[in-house]
């Protein structure tokens, strides 16, 4: 059993593929972005602390994110997809030393031309009730404005999916990711997927490795 570590730019499709792997292969999905957004929605002290940082597209502190991650996983019980963690080399090292501690894992890099991502993200809509991910261009719900999965009419745009914030998120990703990819490459644990392919093609490529 190998845990999967999803690495990819904002909008590269990490959450979309994670949802399918949960539904069709029974993996557990842990997204640090989703955990942080749920703290904001709850109005917790932690949520209040991180809201402005996330709204600007910057990274939340390593220390805070690792504590949140540790509190929400039980590696003995399930095969996990780590989505959005690690995002820098310090987090990659922490994940190995303090979380995985030798459990097998494969890093999956969602490789995509950055130019495509602003359009993908400005057209993303997410179901506020069940988290299902849609796109106004490439993945519309069967009935306009209604979630296919849970029937909710709360299909919303994420607070950080505004064009200027997206540009900052893409820059933050580019600034930190090269050493992370090298780290996994050097350890022989890196798999690349062409994230410009269709959702089905990407799913089949990842599923064939687990
Ligand atoms: P996070 O929530 O992790 O966001 P992100 O990394 O910016 O990635 P996204 O969720 O935007 O994109 P995705 O790759 O999941 O794409 P999706 O599948 O939705 O993090 C948000 C923030 O939290 C960070 O900015 C930071 O502040 C903080 N944070 C989180 N983790 C942290 C950490 N470890 N350390 C510090 N701070 C942290 O797809 C996008 C769109 O594309 C959808 O509309 C979808 O339908 C469409 N799509 C998907 N696949 C395809 C395809 N193959 N073809 C066409 N369209 C597709
Ligand atoms: Mg996501």
Three state DSSP letters for the chain: CCEEEEEECCCCCHHHHHHHHHHHHCCEEEEHHHHHHHHHHHCCHHHHHHHHHHHHCCCCCHHHHHHHHHCCCCCCCCCEEEECCCCCHHHHHHHHHHHHCCCCEEEEEEECCHHHHHHHHHCEEEECCCCCEEECCCECCCCCCCCCCCCCCCEECCCCCCHHHHHHHHHHHHHHHHHHHHHHHHCCCEEEEECCCCHHHHHHHHHCCC
pLDDT band at 195 (very low <50, low <70, confident <90, very high): very high
Ligand 1 centroid – CA 104 distance (Å): 24
Query: What confidence score (pLDDT) does residue 76 get?
Result: 86
**So what's the pLDDT on residue 1?**
80
In short, whether 141's Cβ falls inside 6 Å of ligand 1 is no
**Per-residue pLDDT at 77 exceeds 90:** no
Atom 21, ligand 1: which residue's CA is nearest? 33
Average the pLDDT over 189-204 and give the result.
Answer: 97
Residue 151: the pLDDT is 98
End-to-end CA distance of the chain: 8
| Vertex 203: Cα angle to 187 and 111 (nearest 5) | 50
Neighbours of 187 (CB within 10 A): 12
Pairing of strands 155-156, 124-127: antiparallel
Q: What percent of the chain has pLDDT over 90?
A: 97
pLDDT of residue 121 exceeding 90, the answer is yes
Residue of the nearest CA to atom 19 in ligand 1? 15
Domains in the chain (CATH in brackets) are: 3-27+79-207 (3.40.50.300)
Ligand 1: residue whose CA is nearest its atom 49: 13
**139 CA to centre of own chain:** 18
User: What would the mean pLDDT of 134-149 be, rounded to a whole number?
Assistant: 97
* Mean pLDDT on 69-97: 96
Strands 28-31 and 80-83: parallel
Does the beta carbon of 138 sit less than 6 angstroms from any atom of ligand 1? yes
User: If you measure from the C-alpha of residue 96 to the centroid of ligand 1, how many angstroms do you get, rounded to a whole number?
Assistant: 22
Checking if the pLDDT of 7 tops 90, the result is yes
CA of 82, nearest ligand number:
1
- What pLDDT is attached to residue 18? 98
Question: Is 7 in contact with 180 (CB distance < 8 Å)?
Answer: yes
Residue whose tokens read 């687990």: 210
Instruction: Read off the pLDDT of each residue in 135-143 and give the average, rounded to a whole number.
Output: 96
CA distance 64 to 35: 11
Mean per-residue pLDDT for 115-138? 96
pLDDT at residue 42, as a whole number? 95
CB distance 14 to ligand 1 below 6 Å: yes
Q: Which ligand is nearest to the CA of 124?
A: 1
Ligand 1 neighbour 85 (Cβ under 6 A): yes
Task: Share the mean pLDDT of the chain.
Answer: 96
pLDDT of 80 above 90:
yes
CA of 9 to the centre of ligand 1 (A): 7
Binned at pLDDT 50, 70 and 90, residue 210 comes out as: confident
Q: Which of 5, 11, 148, 177 to mutate to test the pocket of ligand 1 (most atoms within 8 A of CB)?
A: 11
Distance 45 CA to ligand 1 centre (A): 24
How close is the Cα of 110 to the center of ligand 2, in Å? 12
- Pick from 82, 57, 79, 56: nearest CA to 68: 82
pLDDT tens digit sequence for 161-181 = 999 999 999 999 999 999 999
pLDDT at 43: 96
Distances (CA, A) of 195 to 8, 12, 112, 182: 9, 6, 5, 19
Q: What is the pLDDT of residue 21?
A: 97
Indicate which ligand has the atom closest to the C-alpha of 112: 1
Distances (CA, A) of 87 to 91, 95, 175: 6, 11, 10
At residue 209, the pLDDT reads 83
């Amino acid at each position: 059993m190998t845990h999967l570590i999803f690495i990819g730019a904002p909008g590269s499709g990490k959450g979309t593929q994670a949802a399918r792997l949960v539904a069709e292969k029974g993996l557990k999905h842990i997204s640090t972005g989703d955990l942080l957004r749920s703290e904001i929605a709850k109005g917790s002290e932690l949520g209040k602390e991180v809201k402005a940082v996330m709204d600007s597209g910057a990274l939340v502190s390593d220390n805070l994110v690792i504590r949140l991650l540790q509190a929400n996983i039980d590696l003995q019980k399930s095969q996990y997809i780590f989505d959005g963690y690690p995002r820098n080399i310090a987090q990659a090292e922490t994940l190995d030393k303090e979380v995985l501690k030798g459990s097998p894992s494969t890093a999956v890099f969602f490789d995509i031309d950055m130019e495509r991502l602003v359009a993908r993200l400005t057209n993303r809509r997410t179901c506020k009730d069940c988290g299902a991910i849609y796109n106004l261009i490439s993945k519309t719900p069967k009935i306009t404005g209604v979630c296919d999965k849970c029937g909710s009419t709360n299909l919303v745009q994420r607070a950080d999916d505004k064009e200027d914030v997206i540009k900052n998120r893409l820059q933050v990703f580019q600034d930190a990711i090269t050493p992370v990819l090298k780290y996994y490459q050097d350890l022989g644990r890196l798999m690349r997927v062409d994230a410009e392919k269709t959702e089905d093609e990407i799913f089949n490529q990842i599923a064939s490795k687990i």
